[in-house]
Amino acid sequence: MKPFSFTMGYEIKTTFGPVLKPTQFQLWDQNTRFSEFTPHEPLKFMNDALVGLHFKKMTLFKNTPEKEMQFINESLNNYCPYQTLFQSSSKKIKERFSSQKTSPTPESEEFEKQWFSFWNKNDFSNGINFNVFNELFNLITKFEEKTKKPLLYNCSFKFSDKLNEHLVSFYSFLFHLRTIVALDHNAHVEDSCFEALKCDSIADYLPKADFTTNDALIYWQFKKLSTPFVGHKDKDVRIEKLLVEPLQRAFDQYNHNACFLIDQLPVDYLSKHSNSELEEDLHSVQMDWLLGSSSGLLFRIREELYGLSHGYDQIFWTETSQLKAKKPTSLKICFEMDERFLTTKKAA
């Protein structure tokens, strides 16, 4: 019996900028003759296929046959790394903070309703105009305001498995969309040593995590040493006003990531570790939060949505902001997959 085959073509429309800014994802018409498409050198790391497959999943498989939906889910389970990373990192968070019970909150449940309401009310059968994602960006911002805690290093809430799985798919779509833009940009630079763009699924969101760990250790020492001088009836007002409060403001201004990291962690967890143990563990905490928490997913998605709306050069590749603007173009991509091979042919 002939193996099931899945073929997909799409076009990424862009506007001018130092780095091209995607404006629209347009599916190819079903009548398009894929055999007439002249393939170039295949993309690396399945970027093209992952963008297409995640498009289908994040738009809730509307107008997708059952057999095709099963094939897409199986392909993503096997070849998309972010779902596996989320599950393994989420398990580490639970083990590390076993005393901190997390559960859906009224705010998170309301967010989930609004999130899926957006995807259900919009018709993405032919593609997406990325301007509509401004609504999702605002939804994330309002949710953060309602929780009265920053998303950064926040492990105090969790979403349902259904929403987490959808967020992983949406994030992967956005990230791999950016990798395709980077690949196209790098294909036209004169000096790849200095002008090539890089995508990093860790450093793009948590730059210099080791530095944050060191700053967090200093901040934790400050909090412990300052405790006897504040917060009780015999406190020395002069020390509090002239030393503790100015230092606290300085930490918040210049080491805000480190402050968020310490302030979001349970005190009993911080107190039971020595400085050497904390130094090693705080780095792992950052990675597990980013890859395995509901708030980490929202944080990454919000960063990608900001770049998609304002330009990738404004957040991920700021070193390119002074480059000459490139002319708008359309990136045309198609790929074919079947049950025997991951990809039989893919081109961009």
Query: Domain spans of the chain?
Result: 5-203+295-347, 209-288
Q: What is the pLDDT of residue 260?
A: 94
Q: What is the pLDDT of residue 293?
A: 95
Q: What is the pLDDT of residue 7?
A: 87
Confidence of residue 34 (pLDDT cuts 50, 70, 90): low
pLDDT over 80 (residue 341): no
Cα–Cα distance, 144 to 304 (Å, whole number): 17
Confidence of residue 268 (pLDDT cuts 50, 70, 90): confident
Give the residue among 163, 129, 105, 162 at the shortest CA–CA distance from 298.
163
Confidence of residue 347 (pLDDT cuts 50, 70, 90): very low
What is the overall mean pLDDT for the chain? 88
Q: What does the pLDDT look like over 294-333, one tens digit per residue?
A: 999 999 999 999 999 999 999 999 999 888 888 999 999 9
CA angle at 335 for the pair 331 and 338, rounded to the nearest 5° = 170
Confidence of residue 343 (pLDDT cuts 50, 70, 90): very low
Q: What does the pLDDT look like over 151-187, one tens digit per residue?
A: 999 988 889 999 999 999 999 999 999 999 999 999 8
Q: What is the pLDDT of residue 140?
A: 98
Phi, psi of 11 (to 5 degrees): -130, 130
> Residues 225-249: what's their mean pLDDT?
76
| Burial classification of residue 315, based on how many CB atoms lie within 10 Å of its CB (0-12 exposed, 13-18 middle, 19 or more buried) | middle
More confident residue, 336 or 175: 175
Cα–Cα distance, 251 to 247 (Å, whole number): 6
Alpha helices, H only, the chain: 47-58, 66-79, 81-96, 106-121, 134-147, 161-186, 192-195, 209-226, 237-239, 245-254, 256-264, 267-271, 275-292, 294-310
More confident residue, 191 or 345: 191
Q: What does the pLDDT look like over 54-100, one tens digit per residue?
A: 999 999 998 889 999 999 999 998 888 899 999 999 999 988 876 66
Q: What is the pLDDT of residue 152?
A: 96
Top-confidence range, 71-80, 208-217, 233-242:
208-217
> Residues 226-231: what's their mean pLDDT?
72
Residue that the structure tokens 């040493």 belong to: 225
Q: What is the pLDDT of residue 233?
A: 58
pLDDT over 90 (residue 344): no
Give the residue among 148, 129, 345, 171 at the shortest CA–CA distance from 264.
148
Top-confidence range, 12-21, 34-43, 226-235:
12-21
Cα–Cα distance, 74 to 205 (Å, whole number): 28
Helix (H) or strand (E) holding 337: strand 330-338
Residue that the structure tokens 């792992």 belong to: 284
Q: What is the pLDDT of residue 163?
A: 97
> Residues 227-231: what's their mean pLDDT?
70
